[in-house]
């Protein structure tokens, strides 16, 4: 006799879904709810991360060049600055450009008419890869011959790092909790469905079915319910996110908030939802049936 | 086939169910296991089917030592047995054919093997015309015949019937025992657990009597308890 009958397992798994329709519906709803909550937190974290990224990019470090260096010599430092590990790129700002930029901040420019740009220093606007490394970058810049002063706003840098860390930790904790909660609820829901079928399981055991044979239809059932839940949650998440982001962009146009579009996260989110739906469905059903196999 | 050697069984709550039970059932035999409620009959059935392990002594069933065998081997012991229960234990959502076929699928039979074997067994128990009916549409006697067909379908060497007539009227009870008798004549060993005196007395078969966890008689006697 054959030991593996995939057709039978799938048929029984599908039959189990329809013969315990209410329980199946409840399981799918729970998966959808948990995934939407989890997905919403993930999308929130991704957006916060993107906003912080944007702010980080605007947070430049100014490296001032000593007066002893001519403009040509000062410009020659660019390659050395850009070779530092945390420097994304550096833009040279000459004295004249600095003066021009300074004057733009004032309406009455006549007060600067007799002011020579030589009172200012040549400088570099340095853009960093990782804002948390600001202090180290400041030290590296000061170590370059010719750079006499570095202005870096360490308080803001530390603030960004703290916010990003808090958001990351909160997201990880929430996702982990929601995963455990979904697994627990799914497992209990399937356990209730399994309780309905305990006699069937007892008969299977009595006629000599192996634990694997008994488990597989339930695992297929969990697999199907998990995937149905995941796909439904994915579509719902898509619709909800699009509606919410459109609403925010329509009503809060101050420019600080720029939300990422769903298409940017669509693929990773699809895989995450599918993996969680699959994992919760399969593990939940495998856990649920465990107790009934100890006969 | 089945041998119990000096078997003791004490449950976790302290109940001493069996106190040194010895008996042997040879291949091809038909025997009644009789005794009042609480005498230890069900414990013997549970020992033979591997649901419980003996506290002391040896239980040998179809070459398996129930007390020492690994749990992973248990399905193979059970495949060599056919068990019939008082309450039939049929799956209400499956029809007669599916209830019987289910036992074959459970041990890994292919659809082809099922299609070949199930009609034959249903014919043997006289239910070939009711294959599409659900258990609730059948009488008690018919439901028990479905249970017998399910027990038989995997061609076991031993059939254990635990109070198979407990829910049936005397005429249907007699029919069921006669059916089990017929199965025994075809070569299958049969052990029938019952406390129905009239039924046992109607057949001149081996009677193993148990009371208070001990075998009190074993032979071709009538039900003495």
Contacts of A112 (CB under 8 A, 6+ apart): A99, A102, A103, A106
Task: Tell me what the mean pLDDT of segment A266-283 comes to.
Answer: 90
Q: What is the pLDDT of residue A238?
A: 95
For B21-38, what is each residue's pLDDT tens digit?
Answer: 999 999 999 999 999 888
Round to whole Å and give the CA distance between A241 and A236.
Answer: 8
Per domain, the residue ranges of chain A are: 6-55+159-293, 60-152
Q: What percentage of chain A reaches a pLDDT higher than 70?
A: 93
The CA–CA distances, whole Å, from B84 to A207, B16, B197 equal: 10, 25, 19
Give me the helices (H) in A197-210, please: 198-206
HEC readout, B175-196:
HHHHHHHHHHHCCCEEEEEECC
Residues of B in contact with A7 (CB under 8 A): 111
Strand B206-211 vs strand B30-34: parallel, antiparallel, or unpaired? parallel
The SS3 of residue B66 is: coil
Please give, rounded to a whole number of angstroms, the shortest distance from the CA of A19 to a CA of chain B.
8
Max intra-chain CA distance, chain A: 104
What stretch of H or E contains B123? Answer: helix B111-124
Give contacts of A206 with chain B, Cβ < 8 Å: 49, 78, 83, 89
Nearest by CB: A203 against B51, B89, B93: B89
Cα A135 to Cα A141: distance, rounded to the nearest angstrom: 10
Helix axes A21-58, A154-196, angle to 10 degrees: 170
pLDDT value at residue A22: 82
What are the pLDDT digits (tens) for A202-238?
888 888 888 888 888 888 888 898 999 999 999 999 9
Integer CA distances (angstroms), B167 to A15, A250, B89, B139, B185, in order: 31, 74, 12, 11, 25
Q: Which CATH number fits domain B1-80+191-225: 3.30.70.2500, 3.30.470.30, 3.40.50.300, 3.30.360.10?
A: 3.40.50.300
Cβ A209–B76 below 8 Å, yes or no?
no
A80–chain B Cβ distance below 8 A for any pair: no
Average pLDDT score over chain B: 91
Answer for the pair B84, B164: CB distance below 8 angstroms, yes or no: yes
Tell whether B49 lies on the interface with A, counting CB pairs under 8 A.
yes
CA distance B224 to chain A (A): 32
The topology under which CATH files domain A60-152 is: Alpha-Beta Plaits (3.30.70)
Residue B75 and residue A199: Cβ atoms within 8 Å? no
Q: What integer pLDDT is reported at residue A51 of this predicted model?
A: 79
Q: What average pLDDT does range B204-223 have in this prediction?
A: 87
């Amino acid at each position: 006799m054959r030991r593996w009958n995939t057709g039978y397992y799938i048929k029984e798994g599908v039959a189990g879904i329809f013969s315990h329709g209410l329980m199946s519906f409840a399981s799918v709803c729970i998966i959808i709810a948990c995934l939407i909550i989890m997905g919403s937190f993930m999308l929130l974290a991704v957006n916060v991360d993107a906003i912080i990224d944007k702010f980080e990019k605007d947070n430049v470090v100014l490296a001032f060049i000593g007066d002893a260096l001519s403009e040509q010599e000062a410009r020659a430092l660019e390659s050395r600055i850009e070779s530092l590990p945390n420097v994304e790129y550096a833009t040279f700002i000459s004295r004249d450009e600095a003066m021009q930029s300074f004057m733009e901040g004032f309406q009455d420019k006549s007060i600067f008419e007799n002011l020579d740009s030589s009172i200012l220093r040549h400088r570099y606007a340095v853009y960093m890869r990782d804002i948390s490394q600001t202090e180290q970058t400041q030290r590296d810049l000061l170590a370059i011959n010719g750079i006499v002063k570095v202005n870096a706003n360490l308080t803001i840098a530390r603030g960004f790092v703290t916010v990003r860390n808090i958001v990351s930790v909160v997201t990880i904790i929430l996702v982990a909790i929601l995963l455990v909660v979904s697994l627990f609820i799914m497992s209990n829901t399937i356990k209730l469905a399994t309780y309905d079928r305990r006699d069937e399981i007892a008969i299977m055991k009595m006629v000599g079915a192996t634990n694997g044979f008994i488990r597989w239809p339930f695992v297929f059932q969990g697999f199907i319910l998990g995937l149905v839940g995941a796909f439904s949650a994915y579509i719902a998440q898509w619709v909800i996110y699009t509606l919410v982001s459109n609403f925010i962009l329509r009503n809060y146009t101050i420019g600080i908030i720029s939300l990422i579009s769903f298409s940017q996260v669509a693929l990773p989110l699809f895989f995450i939802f599918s993996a969680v739906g699959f994992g919760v469905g399969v593990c939940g059903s495998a856990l649920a049936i465990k107790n009934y196999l100890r006969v | 086939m089945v041998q119990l050697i000096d078997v003791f069984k004490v449950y976790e709550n302290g109940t001493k169910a069996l106190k040194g039970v010895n008996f042997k059932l040879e291949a091809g035999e038909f025997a009644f296991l009789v005794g009042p409620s609480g005498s230890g009959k069900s414990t013997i059935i549970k020992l033979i089917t591997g649901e419980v392990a003996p506290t002391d002594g040896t239980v040998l069933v179809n070459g398996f030592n129930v007390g020492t065998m690994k749990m992973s081997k248990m399905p193979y012991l059970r495949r060599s047995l056919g068990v019939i229960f008082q309450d039939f234990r049929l799956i209400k959502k499956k029809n007669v054919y599916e209830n019987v076929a289910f036992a074959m699928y459970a041990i890994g039979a292919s659809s082809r093997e099922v299609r070949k074997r199930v009609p034959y067994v249903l014919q043997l128990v006289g239910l070939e015309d009711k294959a599409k009916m659900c258990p609730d549409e059948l009488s008690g006697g018919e439901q028990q015949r479905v249970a017998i067909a399910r027990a038989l379908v995997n061609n076991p060497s031993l059939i254990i019937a635990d109070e198979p007539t407990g829910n049936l009227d005397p005429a249907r009870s007699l029919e069921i025992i006669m059916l089990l008798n017929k199965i025994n004549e075809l070569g299958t060993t049969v052990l029938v657990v019952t406390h129905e005196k009239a039924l046992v007395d109607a057949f001149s078969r081996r009677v193993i009597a148990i009371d208070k966890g001990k075998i009190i008689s074993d032979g071709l006697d009538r039900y003495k308890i």
